[in-house]
Amino acid sequence: MTTQEHVGTERAELLADADKRTLIHPHSVIGAPAEPLVLDRGEGAVVWDVNGRSYIDGTCGLWQCPVGHGRDELAAAAAEQMGRLEFYSSFGDYSNEPSIRLAERLLELAPPNMRRVFLTNGGSEGNETAIKLARLAHHHAGNPERFVILAREGGYHGMGGGSLAATGIDRLRAGFGPLMPGIEFLAKPHSVRGADVTDRLVGELEERIAEIGPERIAAFIGEPVLGVGGMVPPPEDYWPRVQDVLRRHGILLILDEVVTAFGRIGHWFGSARYGIEPDLIVTAKGLTSGYIPMGAVLAGERVLDLADGAAFLHGFTYNGHPVGSAVALANIGILEREGLLERAETLGAQLLAALKPLERLDHVLEVRGVGMMLGVELTGPDAATAAAGVQAGARADGVIVRASGTTIVLSPPLVIDEGRLDTLARVLTEHVTAA
Ligand code: PMP
């Protein structure tokens, strides 16, 4: 008998059992499978497990689903496209209508210097693409020595060869042998409780550029707001000042907007929030609200001018997927129609205000956020264990939050209602207070 033939508790137990016997989960311990939370369905800001228990989704999984769970419109867009043309490669001269329309739409929404779009399957692939394109652009323009990538401690860019090498989180880098060379790290851009750190960070950037030699540096990569590294918004003047320095030295700016785009911080792209025009923007997650894996790299005029005429021998089988593109277009339509970008600002400010009093606790370093991207960072020798405890405790009370290191990460769907937002804040406050 298979698990499908059982119902109720028996089905739940068999599924959990089969999970532990058969799957390797991302970010799990080999040979020591965790007790799985087997999810079954979702609607709006709520998901249900196979036992029928409901949970308020305080994280959108890993920052996807701005439009919430269970949107029939997105399922219909996927089904319609699958029925017409499920997939065909986009290599070389092959194309499809949804990808063309999506590229047009993204360029309408992006900063004005953006010119072209490369469609991917997700964020890591997007960052691999952007890093390679930045390096190729300088190589093609006659500067093959110009390959160094500046990255930041606390930055997260993915799990591929280049994207992991550019990730400044030690626990994620260990054990895999030598990573891609040519990456140089700068300090984490964190101003605890509003301390003025921009001068120090920009000064460090200038010094490192002088040490390495600007003629060797291809690009700087960073997230507008650190995500996995702890939901850390930079000081307001950080990005414009970094952009000025990079431009002066001909260094391209790759902005990793895998989390920050599509309303998460109240704008189509976080670049607009911080008033900058990067040379490459990498995005994913909110692009399709996670209904299907999809990402995009947007390329600006400077990088395209440098790379003009270069053979870009790069691409993954499923790039330019017509079904992903159709879902992305429908998802963008919902974000616009329902005013979810504005909603992110309003609800994010409410949630931040509700959690701010936690800063009075000695074991809370900071409560911070921008839009619907918030973090509660704990402090003390056992902070990471305490954060994991908060995650477990809240879940037992029907609220999903996520511990990332010492920070409890919040990024609810932008459609969450105020009642559930209050419950989320209340349950989190209880567990952080008791941590
Ligand atoms: N960049 C950022 C900022 C991310 O948060 C993530 C995923 N959490 C990635 C890149 C990698 O994206 P993916 O997991 O889709 O490869």
Q: In what order do the strands lie in the sheet with 399-400?
A: 39-43, 46-49, 54-57, 399-400
Q: Is 228 in the pocket of ligand 1 (CB under 6 A)?
A: yes
Q: What is residue 211's three-state secondary structure?
A: helix
Spell out the long-range contacts of 161-166 with Cβ–Cβ below 8 A and sequence spacing 24 or more. Answer: 161/128, 162/127, 162/128, 162/131, 162/132, 163/123, 163/124, 163/127, 163/128, 163/131, 164/124, 166/127, 166/131, 166/221
Looking at the CA of residue 260, tell me the nearest atom of ligand 1.
Answer: 3
Helical axes 322-337 vs 97-109, angle rounded to 10°: 40
Whole-number Å distance, alpha carbon 6 to ligand 1 midpoint, is 36
Q: Tens digits of per-residue pLDDT, 204-258?
A: 999 999 999 999 999 999 999 999 999 999 999 999 999 999 999 999 999 999 9
Pocket test for ligand 1, best of 59, 119, 120, 124 (most atoms within 8 A of CB): 124
Q: How much is the ipTM here?
A: 0.99
Report how far residue 427's alpha carbon sits from residue 363's, in angstroms, rounded to the nearest whole number: 17
* The predicted structure's pLDDT at residue 429: 98
Q: Is 220 in the pocket of ligand 1 (CB under 6 A)?
A: no
Q: Tens digits of per-residue pLDDT, 361-381?
A: 999 999 999 999 999 999 999
CATH architecture of 37-70+339-434: Alpha-Beta Complex (3.90)
Q: Tens digits of per-residue pLDDT, 325-367?
A: 999 999 999 999 999 999 999 999 999 999 999 999 999 999 9
What fold, for 73-338?
Answer: Aspartate Aminotransferase; domain 2 (3.40.640)
Q: Is 222 in the pocket of ligand 1 (CB under 6 A)?
A: no
Q: Is 68 in the pocket of ligand 1 (CB under 6 A)?
A: no
List the chain domain ranges: 37-70+339-434, 73-338
